[in-house]
Amino acid sequence: MKIVGISACSAGIAHTYIAKQKLIDAAKKAGDTINMETQGTIGTEDALTPAQIDAADVVLLAVDVKISGRERFEGKRVIEVSTDTAIKSPNKLLEKVHQVIGK
């Protein structure tokens, strides 16, 4: 499965990057491809490209705050969770995403 996502926490520092890494590790373990953008105190990093978004089966938002650019995902299946969920249970989260998407 191809996943794109954004991680963003209220402080825009630690949880943003921890959630990103946990999801990348869980996706690799599940055999998925994932591209994660971060939005934090230093701005947007690893911005998702239109091609990555178009190719994605699902958009996974691990966010605790309002994010910018959400309109890019119009017409895509979007799953939103807290950064805490992504950090504490990334493997279970991706299992649920697989169930919901059917892949």
Let me know if 9 is exposed, middle or buried by CB neighbors in 10 A (0-12, 13-18, 19+).
Answer: buried
Let me know if 91 is exposed, middle or buried by CB neighbors in 10 A (0-12, 13-18, 19+).
Answer: middle
- Binning the chain into helix, strand and coil, the percentages to the nearest 5 are 45, 25, 30
Look-up of token digits 């959630």? 19
Element (H, E) at 1: none
Q: Which of 6, 9, 48, 63 is catalytic?
A: 9
Q: Reply yes or no on whether 76 is catalytic.
A: no
Catalytic residues: 9
